[in-house]
């Protein structure tokens, strides 16, 4: 996944407005150049190289490299290598930088480059980006730290190799590599000729569509809830919204009307773009919308029952994403009916999404409990066929009740299996995610059934347009479709499902033309769709197994078939539905 991460976070180059102003230690440390320094053991060591590292507190790539940087510094400091961290982004404050270097154990000189003058001096454009100078000040190496943000995919240790050579008095065999990460942000130019301002027009859009994830403690890599932040990120705000990468919402417009759809209107898109194009003026802070207060806790009120693993999971500082499953017994003596579910991630900076499955068959027994850490690791799915699904959480999702009279049945003795996708953030974290159940209060007339539509796969290496289509048998009964969950892995590019009614009328159920494994969702229809007896469903999915697919986990590409592993594929659309003829007459007793 190396190239994928690199490609996803690599940006075009920025330009700087160099003036001259340095903060705090900066002048002291960079201005004077003592020939020797005291090492931590107190002996005098001749300085053989100076490493200037451009870093950012907000850049995900800079974060995941922090443990590697700390380790390199520990290794080379006794050999006469002096590291200095430089933070040139205009929007990152001194306290944020301090907190970042403390929490990531970067125990060398770190400084804010308030006016971008160091970035300009070195020609730094990205974070992380490294410049190694010899004692004479000559640049001996410039570029990346190594070749992959994912530690399991590193093949060349570029910075370490350069330092080894310099310390040994050899010449550096590869003095320049291309840095990847996030561009360094420059201050906004002071032109304010337009009517569109941050305070009046832009802040309300960001507040509605972005700040749910882009604020402190949430999954978005930087906050977007102040003028300083929005202005620093203005170029990317335009680019990411115009390309529909942000807000993340993969369902194409026109195929299904979904709850909580995150989509900017064309007017909002134009407002954001015009604001950026006209120099991103602030306007009058009096025009700002009232700040939103995010409620901590359960938006639907205290659940009737809260289930969680028996202890917290430790998420390592770096490495590939982890899919961890926790088996939680329910101990229900009788079948229970659940009309709403709220999954609460324990640690929002590392939890990417959570899915709660039901295991009514006992297949999950014995999977958990073998490791020191709670749960077990399983990519993509839970490693067995669940008997149902309760729902899930992804950033920005809010819990909802099922339609009146409709509930999900959790059989007596069932287990809930929580699958949590963790995305590492460069420092060790812990997580204890939990799921709250709201039992049906009135009579339950219908239960939600889940059936997967699947298609087998044999995707030849090099095929960039492998397409499969499957058509279901005509449904024997009238039903209502409540939600749909498409599922593929890294090679998936497009997936589409369409219902064909007995008379031939077609209803698009979902269409995703830019599949992203990281942004999977259960898409819940605003109104359940009535699908009469005889309806067929056609599912079409396209995969790219060429080397050009940056997300291809196999390098070189190889034959890929169905399976649970990261390097395997799947082709599924889970259909969540109720049967029109089902009338349980069952009454769910209040939770005791
Ligand atoms: C559901 C959560 C969520 C919402 C809503 C959201 N973002 Fe993001 N955003 C993320 C995450 C997570 C990332 C990190 C990259 C990724 O995982 O795709 C990101 C990345 C970005 C980046 C790239 C950051 C970088 O490191 O270069 C920009 C720019 C951005 N978002 C802007 C926006 C804007 C503007 C909006 C609103 C119109 C928005 N986002 C809404 C979660 C969200």
The three-point CA angle 15-20-25 to 5° equals 110
Report how far residue 72's alpha carbon sits from residue 77's, in angstroms, rounded to the nearest whole number: 8
| CA proximity to 27, closest of 93, 114, 90 | 114
Q: CB-based contacts of 540: which residues, under 8 Å, 6+ apart? A: 467, 468, 469, 494, 495, 496, 497
Burial group, residue 470, by CB count within 10 angstroms (0-12, 13-18, 19+): middle
| CA proximity to 53, closest of 221, 184, 152 | 184
Say if pTM beats, i.e. exceeds, 0.75. Answer: no
Question: What confidence score (pLDDT) does residue 439 get?
Answer: 95
> Using one digit for the tens of pLDDT, what is the confidence trace for 540-590?
999 999 999 989 988 899 999 998 777 889 999 999 999 999 988 754 443
Atom 35, ligand 1: residue with shortest CA distance: 237
Q: Is the preceding peptide bond at 128 cis, omega within 30 degrees of 0? A: yes
Q: CB-based contacts of 105: which residues, under 8 Å, 6+ apart? A: 66, 67, 70
Atom 20, ligand 1: residue with shortest CA distance: 220
Task: Give the residue extent of every domain in the chain.
Answer: 2-183, 198-287, 295-442, 445-592
Report how far residue 48's alpha carbon sits from residue 59's, in angstroms, rounded to the nearest whole number: 30
Question: What confidence score (pLDDT) does residue 188 get?
Answer: 62
Sign of the Cα pseudo-torsion (217, 391, 204, 197, in order):
positive
Tokens of 308: 């969680």
Q: How many A from CA of 245 to the centre of ligand 1?
A: 8
Class of domain 445-592: mainly beta
Question: What confidence score (pLDDT) does residue 189 get?
Answer: 53
| CA proximity to 322, closest of 314, 332, 330, 331 | 314
Q: How many A from CA of 241 to the centre of ligand 1?
A: 9
Which atom of ligand 1 approaches the CA of 396 most closely? 1
The answer to whether residues 566 and 380 touch, using CB atoms and an 8 Å cutoff, is: yes
Sign of the Cα pseudo-torsion (83, 84, 87, 88, in order):
negative
Report how far residue 506's alpha carbon sits from residue 256's, in angstroms, rounded to the nearest whole number: 12
The answer to whether residues 360 and 323 touch, using CB atoms and an 8 Å cutoff, is: no
Q: Which residue carries 């907190």 as its tokens?
A: 99
Which atom of ligand 1 approaches the CA of 209 most closely? 37
| CA proximity to 497, closest of 509, 506, 486 | 509
Q: Is the preceding peptide bond at 247 cis, omega within 30 degrees of 0? A: yes
Q: How many A from CA of 380 to the centre of ligand 1?
A: 23
Atom 23, ligand 1: residue with shortest CA distance: 236
* Pocket, ligand 1, Cβ cutoff 6 A: 9, 59-60, 182, 209-210, 212-214, 219-221, 233, 236-237, 240-241, 246-248, 262, 264, 395-396, 518
| CA proximity to 479, closest of 536, 406, 531 | 531
Report how far residue 215's alpha carbon sits from residue 348's, in angstroms, rounded to the nearest whole number: 11
Report how far residue 49's alpha carbon sits from residue 80's, in angstroms, rounded to the nearest whole number: 7
The answer to whether residues 522 and 357 touch, using CB atoms and an 8 Å cutoff, is: no
- Which of the four CATH numbers 1.10.390.10, 3.40.50.12140, 2.40.33.10, 3.40.30.10 does domain 2-183 have? 3.40.30.10
Question: What confidence score (pLDDT) does residue 21 get?
Answer: 23
Tokens of 266: 């064309």
Radius of gyration of the chain (CA): 27
The answer to whether residues 324 and 355 touch, using CB atoms and an 8 Å cutoff, is: no
The answer to whether residues 205 and 265 touch, using CB atoms and an 8 Å cutoff, is: no
Count CB atoms within 10 A of the CB of residue 494: 19
Question: What confidence score (pLDDT) does residue 488 get?
Answer: 92
Question: What confidence score (pLDDT) does residue 44 get?
Answer: 63
| CA proximity to 401, closest of 479, 301, 332 | 301
The number of residues in the chain equals 592
Report how far residue 360's alpha carbon sits from residue 421's, in angstroms, rounded to the nearest whole number: 23
Which atom of ligand 1 approaches the CA of 240 most closely? 29
Q: How many A from CA of 280 to the centre of ligand 1?
A: 19
Phi, psi values for residue 48, rounded to 5°: -100, -25
The answer to whether residues 574 and 487 touch, using CB atoms and an 8 Å cutoff, is: yes
Count CB atoms within 10 A of the CB of residue 78: 12
The answer to whether residues 588 and 465 touch, using CB atoms and an 8 Å cutoff, is: no
Class of domain 295-442: mainly beta
Q: How many A from CA of 325 to the centre of ligand 1?
A: 26
Report how far residue 261's alpha carbon sits from residue 89's, in angstroms, rounded to the nearest whole number: 33
Count CB atoms within 10 A of the CB of residue 242: 15
Which atom of ligand 1 approaches the CA of 212 most closely? 5
b vs e for 281-301, b when ≥16 Cβ sit within 10 Å of the residue's Cβ? bbbeeeebeeeeeeeeeeeee
| CA proximity to 523, closest of 146, 257, 211 | 257
Tokens of 443: 């009579």
Question: What confidence score (pLDDT) does residue 501 get?
Answer: 97
Sign of the Cα pseudo-torsion (208, 212, 213, 214, in order):
positive
Q: How many A from CA of 214 to the centre of ligand 1?
A: 7
Question: What confidence score (pLDDT) does residue 259 get?
Answer: 87
Low-confidence ranges of the chain (pLDDT < 70): 1-44, 187-194, 396, 586-592
Q: CB-based contacts of 374: which residues, under 8 Å, 6+ apart? A: 309, 310, 311, 312, 313, 326, 368
Q: How many A from CA of 218 to the centre of ligand 1?
A: 11
Report how far residue 36's alpha carbon sits from residue 531's, in angstroms, rounded to the nearest whole number: 78
Which atom of ligand 1 approaches the CA of 394 most closely? 1
Intrachain domains 295-442 and 445-592 with the same fold: yes
């Amino acid at each position: 996944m190396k190239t994928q991460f690199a490609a996803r976070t690599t940006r075009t180059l920025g330009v700087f407005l160099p003036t001259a102003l340095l903060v705090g230690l900066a002048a002291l440390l960079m201005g004077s150049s003592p020939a020797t320094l005291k090492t931590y053991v107190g002996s005098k060591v001749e300085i053989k190289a100076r490493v200037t590292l451009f870093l950012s507190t907000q850049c995900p790539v800079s974060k995941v490299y922090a443990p590697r940087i700390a380790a390199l510094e520990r290794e080379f400091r006794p050999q006469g290598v002096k590291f200095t961290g430089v933070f040139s982004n205009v929007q990152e404050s001194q306290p944020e930088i301090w907190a970042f270097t403390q929490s990531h154990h970067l125990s060398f000189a770190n400084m804010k480059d308030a006016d971008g003058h160091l970035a300009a001096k070195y020609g730094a454009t990205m974070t992380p980006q490294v410049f190694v100078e010899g004692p004479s000040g000559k640049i001996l190496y410039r570029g990346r730290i190594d070749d992959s943000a994912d530690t399991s995919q590193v093949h060349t240790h570029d910075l370490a190799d350069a330092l080894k050579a310099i310390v040994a008095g050899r010449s550096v065999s590869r003095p320049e590599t291309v840095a990847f990460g996030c561009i360094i942000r420059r201050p906004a130019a002071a032109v304010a000729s337009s009517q569109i301002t941050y305070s009046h027009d832009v802040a309300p859009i960001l507040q509605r569509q972005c700040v749910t994830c882009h604020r402190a403690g949430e999954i978005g890599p930087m906050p977007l809830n102040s003028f300083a932040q929005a202005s620093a990120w203005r170029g990317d705000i335009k680019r990411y919204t115009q390309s529909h990468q942000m807000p993340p919402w993969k369902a194409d417009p026109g195929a299904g009307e979904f709850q909580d759809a995150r989509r900017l209107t064309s007017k909002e898109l134009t407002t954001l773009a015009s604001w950026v194009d006209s120099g991103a003026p602030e306007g009058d802070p009096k025009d700002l919308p009232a700040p939103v207060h995010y409620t901590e806790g359960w938006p639907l009120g205290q659940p009737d029952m809260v289930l969680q693993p028996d202890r917290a999971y430790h998420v390592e500082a770096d490495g590939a994403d982890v899919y961890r499953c926790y088996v939680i017994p329910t101990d229900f003596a009788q079948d229970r009916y659940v009309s709403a579910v709220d999954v609460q991630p324990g640690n929002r900076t590392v939890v990417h999404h959570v899915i709660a499955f039901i295991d009514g068959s006992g297949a999950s027994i014995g999977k958990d409990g073998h490791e020191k850490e709670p749960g077990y690791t399983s990519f993509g799915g839970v490693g067995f066929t669940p008997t149902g699904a309760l729902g899930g959480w992804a950033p920005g999702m809010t819990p909802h009740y099922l339609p009146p009279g409709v509930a999900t049945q959790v059989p007596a003795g069932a287990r809930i299996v929580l699958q949590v996708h963790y995305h590492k953030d460069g420092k060790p974290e812990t997580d204890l995610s939990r799921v709250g159940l709201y039992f049906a209060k009135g009579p339950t007339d219908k239960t939600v059934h889940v059936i997967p539509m699947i298609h087998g796969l044999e995707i030849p290496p090099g095929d960039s347009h492998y397409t499969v289509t499957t058509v279901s048998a005509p449904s024997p009964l009238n039903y209502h479709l409540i939600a749909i969950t498409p599922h593929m892995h890294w090679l998936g590019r497009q997936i589409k499902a369409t219902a064909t009614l007995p008379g031939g009328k077609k209803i698009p159920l979902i269409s995703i033309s830019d599949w992203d494994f990281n942004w999977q969702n259960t898409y819940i229809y605003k109104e359940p769709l009535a699908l009469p007896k005889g309806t067929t469903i056609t599912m079409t999915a396209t995969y790219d197994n060429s080397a050009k697919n940056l997300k291809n986990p196999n390098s070189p590409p190889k034959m890929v078939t169905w399976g649970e592993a990261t390097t395997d594929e799947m082709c599924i659309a889970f259909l969540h539905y109720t049967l029109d003829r089902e009338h349980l007459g069952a009454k769910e007793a209040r939770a005791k």
